[in-house]
């Protein structure tokens, strides 16, 4: 793929260069891999003008036709998955196998969204003495999607698929760390023949300036954001003159509970997968592991063995299972949490320090780490880590485990491992989290709604609920 094509913005159906560009680096080596167009507030408002102009015509396009664009894009992603995965790995750092899986999952999400376009109808109510009633769904209008760097393909595609399926024109603002894969995926969608203004992309190194210009404009009717809780709360406070629909998928502090009757080898494999995928840089990564005291030591031994076998390196190198953290600030945060835990009495069982590899790998690497004897007052217990560190705790009763798991301001994901269905159901019912994996380390599927409670967000993406985020509801009463 030509690298000069990355330094372009998609505005009103045309790829155009930015006035300036910014450098994008491989987080494993620090070496530049390309440049992205550095969009401005002026570019963003031009995109909003085009989205507003396109809104009525796109709304009138049939659900079948809108879905056709998404299905063609899904097929194109599958055809180019190896090339796209190589770019994703170079830009984000994750292992090549994970990048490939993310892209194939993105294709599935597009296909799901295409079908949701057909199902996004309303309903006819039984006649009342006054006459019949209708509930009608309508596109929310021009929307903005702000996407993160940790899953720069799947988070982008999930928002694009649902918005376009609903009939809402969309402007995407990818993370400044990973604009290249986003540009390529927007190109895939655009090349399906989308009308001008329906999908537009503004890459930028000045996200606050670009987003601020759009948020100040009342013509923007919807924002869908995935990122930190701090930034998400800021988006809600961004204007005080008008309301708009806002979907937020924010931070997490996911607990995993392993009950005494769990299949311990399977639970150990599940916890390691759910913790160390993408080097722990996932909002649904396990941040706290609660093991029943009777199986704590056996489970810990199995986990230590698996974690010690993880291979750190460049994501494109064969056999790599842990890539770099995205930048130095991420590494500093992980080091700060581990140092705080050790100073307060925690014990490092595996890892616990920066990883030193070949000289060319200058990135922010950290060894996969397991901590025990962790207290509830430590930073690692209270703050989201976003790195490859697993703190392990023990518990004695089911009630204690659930109470401690819920002791956080976040409510995105949680995990349960055990055999007793009654116990699992009771725990799942009591856990205050939007996504719960029961003996399942990867509880994210296109057909399931995704989102959190409390400070982990509002509204949902995916599932039958996902398209509702881009639809308004009208009640029509008819008097005969």
pLDDT in tens, 71-101: 999 999 999 999 999 999 999 999 999 999 9
pLDDT for 352 equals: 96
| Domain spans, the chain | 9-250+455-477, 254-445
Q: Which residue has the tokens 């909002």?
A: 283
pTM above 0.85, yes or no: yes
Question: 154-166 and 96-119 are packed helices; what angle lies between their axes, rounded to 10 degrees?
Answer: 10
Catalytic residues: 249, 283
Q: Which one, of 1, 7, 4, 3, lies nearest residue 204 by Cα? A: 7
Asked if 255 and 286 count as a contact pair (C-beta separation under 8 A), the reply is yes
Q: Which residue has the higher pLDDT, 129 or 293?
A: 293
Architecture of the domain spanning 254-445: 3-Layer(aba) Sandwich (3.40)
Q: How confident is the model at residue 4 (pLDDT cuts 50, 70, 90)?
A: low
d(CA 452, CA 263): 28
- CATH number given to 9-250+455-477: 3.40.605.10
Asked if 249 and 283 count as a contact pair (C-beta separation under 8 A), the reply is yes
Helix, strand, coil fractions of the chain, as percent rounded to 5: 40, 25, 35
Q: What tokens does 76 get?
A: 């194109």
Average pLDDT value for residue range 131-149: 95
d(CA 286, CA 55): 41
Instruction: Say how many CA atoms lie within 13 Å of 336 toward its Cβ.
Output: 12
d(CA 226, CA 249): 5
In sequence order, what are the beta bridge partners of 125? 133
Q: What tokens does 463 get?
A: 């599932």
pLDDT in tens, 207-259: 999 999 999 999 999 999 999 999 999 888 887 788 899 999 999 999 999 99
pLDDT in tens, 389-433: 999 999 999 999 999 999 999 999 999 999 999 999 999 999 999
pLDDT in tens, 257-295: 999 999 999 999 999 999 999 999 999 999 999 999 999
Note the helical H segments in 296-397.
296-308, 328-343, 379-382
Q: How confident is the model at residue 451 (pLDDT cuts 50, 70, 90)?
A: very high
pLDDT for 5 equals: 66
Q: Which one, of 302, 267, 297, 254, lies nearest residue 417 by Cα? A: 267
Q: Which residue has the tokens 């200058």?
A: 362
pLDDT in tens, 97-126: 999 999 999 999 999 999 999 988 888 888
Task: Give the pairing of strands 389-395 and 286-292.
Answer: parallel
Average pLDDT value for residue range 345-366: 95
């Amino acid at each position: 793929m030509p690298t000069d094509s990355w330094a372009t913005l998609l505005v009103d159906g045309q790829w155009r260069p930015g006035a300036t560009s910014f450098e994008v680096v491989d987080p494993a080596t620090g070496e530049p891999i390309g440049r992205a167009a550095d969009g401005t507030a002026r570019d963003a408002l031009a995109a909003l003008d085009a989205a507003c102009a396109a809104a009525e015509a796109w709304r009138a396009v049939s659900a079948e036709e809108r879905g056709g664009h998404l299905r063609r894009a899904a097929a194109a992603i599958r055809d180019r998955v190896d090339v796209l995965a190589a770019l994703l790995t170079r830009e984000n750092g994750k292992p090549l196998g994970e990048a490939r899986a993310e892209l194939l999952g993105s294709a599935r999400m597009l296909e799901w969204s295409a079908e949701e376009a057909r199902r996004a109808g309303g309903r006819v109510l039984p006649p009342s003495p006054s006459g019949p009633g209708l509930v009608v769904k309508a596109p929310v209008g021009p929307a903005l999607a702000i996407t993160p760097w940790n899953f720069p393909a799947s988070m982008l595609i999930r928002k694009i698929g649902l918005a376009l399926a609903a009939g809402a024109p969309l402007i995407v603002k990818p993370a400044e760390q990973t604009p290249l894969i986003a540009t390529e995926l927007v190109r895939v969608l655009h090349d399906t023949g989308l009308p001008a203004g329906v999908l537009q992309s503004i890459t930028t190194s000045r996200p606050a300036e670009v987003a601020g210009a759009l948020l100040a404009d009342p013509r923007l009717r919807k924002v869908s954001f995935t990122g930190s809780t701090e930034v998400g709360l800021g988006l809600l406070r961004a204007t005080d003159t008008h309301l708009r629909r806002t979907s937020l998928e924010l931070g997490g502090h996911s607990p995993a509970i392993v009950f005494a009757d769990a299949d311990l080898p399977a639970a150990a494999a599940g916890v390691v997968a759910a913790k160390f995928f993408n080097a722990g840089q996932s909002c649904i990564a396990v941040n706290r592991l609660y093991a029943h005291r009777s199986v704590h030591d056996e489970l810990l031994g199995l986990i230590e063995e698996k974690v010690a076998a993880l291979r750190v390196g460049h994501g494109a190198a064969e056999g790599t299972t842990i890539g770099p953290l995205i930048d130095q600030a991420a590494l500093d945060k992980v080091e700060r949490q581990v140092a705080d835990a050790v100073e307060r009495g925690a014990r490092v069982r595996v890892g616990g320090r920066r990883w030193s590899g070949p000289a060319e790998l200058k990135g922010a690497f950290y060894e996969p780490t397991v901590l025990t004897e962790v207290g509830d007052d430590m930073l690692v217990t209270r703050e989201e880590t976003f790195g490859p560190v697993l703190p392990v705790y023990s518990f004695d009763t089911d009630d204690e485990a659930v109470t401690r798991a819920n002791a956080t301001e976040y409510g995105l994901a949680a995990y349960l491992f055990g055999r007793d269905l009654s116990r699992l159901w009771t725990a799942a019912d009591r856990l205050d989290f939007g996504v719960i994996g029961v003996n399942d380390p990867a509880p994210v599927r296109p057909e399931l709604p995704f989102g959190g409670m409390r400070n982990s967000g509002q509204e949902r993406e995916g599932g039958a609920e996902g398209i509702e985020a881009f639809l308004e509801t009208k009640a029509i009463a008819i008097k005969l």
